[in-house]
Structure 1
C-alpha cells in the first residue's frame, strides 16, 4: 500500500477534533483491505476477552505515521470501536517525536504512576528500551481524553519487546438517567447501624478512636460489632468541626471498608445491590465490565461508580445544580481495598430518611 495515501497523525487528530469518527474514512483505507481475525485468535487474547472484544479486523505491512507497520480494528460488546497502530521500535527518538506531537496537540495527558512509566521521563523510557525487566516490567503508558467519546493511549511495552502502539477508541456516548432515584429507597435502609446512636457515642461519649485528617476534619474509626452489607468490618466517620444551627446535624461522611482478605462474591453482591438501588451513575455507567472485576480481584486502582444527587434526589446534570450528597464505590488499591463512601451523609439523613 502506498504510504502517502494515509494522512499524518497530526491530520488524523485534526479530523477527530472536527468530529470525524469513521476510522477507515479518516485513514483513507477501504474497509475491504482489512481481514477478519479468526475466532481462535480472539479467545486467545485474555485482555481482549476481559474488555469485551467480539471482533478484530487486521491490516499488516502498511506504514503509518512513519513508525507503525500494522493496524487493528477492535469491536467491543458495548459498541466501542478501537483502532490500534503498532510496530516494533528500538530507536527512542521516534517515540519521543510522537509523544511531543501528541503533547502539542492534546495537552499534558495523564498516566498511572503506580503501574506505568511516563513518556515524559526520557531516562526510564531509554531503560525500558535497553534493559529487559527494568522497573519490575513496567510499561510506558500515557493517555488523553480528546472528548467525551474519544480516548487516545500511547504505550511502549517490555513484552513483547520494543512493541510501540497508539490506540484511539471511539466510545459510545453513555445515556445519563436524570429520573428521581429514591423510589426504591436509599442505602440507609440497607445499613443496620443506627446513625443517631453512632453520632452520640463518637461525638459526645468518646467511644471511638479519633484523629484530625489533612482537611481539618475529625475522623473516628470504628470496628463494627456486626458487618455492614454482610461484608464491611470497619467504619470511618469524618465529622466537620463547623458550628451547626440548633437541630441541625453536623456535616459528616461515612466510609465503609473491610479489614482482611477480599471476598469477591460479597463485593459483587454489594455492587449489584447499589446498581439495582440507584441505577446508572453520574457518568452513565451501570453494571461492571469484566475488566473492572479483574481490577477488583487484583486489588488494583478502580474509579468505580459515583452517584451525585441533588436535593430532589435526581442525579446532578449541570455545574449549577447543588449536590446534596453523593455515594461512591471504588477500590484505591490500598489496605482498605473495595470501599463504599457516603459524602455529606448528613444531607442524606436530613432530606431522605
Structure 2
C-alpha cells in the first residue's frame, strides 16, 4: 500500500518522476521491432521447405484434399498460412477469379461441442459472400419434437451450410483453418469425431482442398477415420533440431545483420547450441525475445545489447515454458555443454505430475480403431 501511495499523487495520477529515466522508442527502433515480430520469423531453414510442399500439394488440385500443417508453437504456422493465402489470391487474380483462398480461425468450442455454424459463417464472411439469413424449415414432429429455438438454430445452420456449398461450387478456393489444435483440446470425443466428419463432408461435397494448421495434437483429429488418413498429405514445420547447429548459426548471423548494430557480430551466432536449448529450437521465440531485448535496452538509453543480457532474458522465459502445455520437448539439445538429448513425454511427466500444466494436452484419442 505504501508503494502504491508513493506512485500516485494526491489526484490519483501516476507520479511522472517514475519515468524520468525511461526513454521512449524512436521511430527506427519501433519499426525494426515490428519488422522482426511480423515479418522476419519466416526466414528460417524449414519455412521455405514447408511452404513449397504445401503449395505443391495444393497445385496438384486433387479432389477432396486434406493438408495438415503440424508444428510446435512459435514455429511460424500462422505466417505460413498467410503466405499461402497471398500466393493463392495472387494466382486467382491472374486467372480472373476473385479469391484463391479463405483463411479463418475457429472459436473455442462451448460445452465440448463443435460449432459448425462458426465454420461456415466465418468462411462466408471472409469470402464476402451474401450470408443466408432465412432458415431452411424442418418438418414438424409430433412426439419429442425439439423446441422452436432448437429448430431455428438447426435451420440457420442448414442455411449457412447450403450457402457455403454454393459459394464453393461457384468459386474454387482453398480453405485454410488456423489453430485447429484448440478444437482438439476442448472438444469431447464425440464432438471431435463430428468435426472430423464435417471436414470429410466438406472436402467431398464441395470438392475443396482444406488446409488445417496446429500443434502436434492436431493428428488426433486427422486420424479419426480411415478416409481422412487416406486423403491427408501431412506437412511438418520443424523446429531446429539436433545436427542443425550450423543452420541455426547461419540464421542467427542473418538476424544480427538485420538488427543493424544492436549487437556485435557473434553475440547470437556465437552461441547456437545454447540458444537452441533455451528456445526449444523455435525461431519465433528467438526473434520475439531479440525484439524484447532491443526494446528494453533502447528504453534504458543503451544502443546495444550484450550476450548475457539476451541470455538472462531468454533463461527466464525458458523456465516458464518448461511447464507449459503448448511446448513439447523433442529433437532439441540438452543442457549446454552436456550430452545432446531429447526429452520425451515420460520425462515430462517425471518433472510435472499428471494433471499439472506441464503434461501435454489433450488426452483425446482417435475413436476409429484403424485411425492410427
Q: Same fold (TM over 0.5)?
A: no
TM-score range, shorter chain: under 0.3
Q: What TM-score do you get using the length of structure 1 for normalisation?
A: 0.22
Higher RCO (C-alpha under 8 Å, 6+ residues apart)? 2
Larger relative strand fraction: 1
Larger relative helix fraction: 2
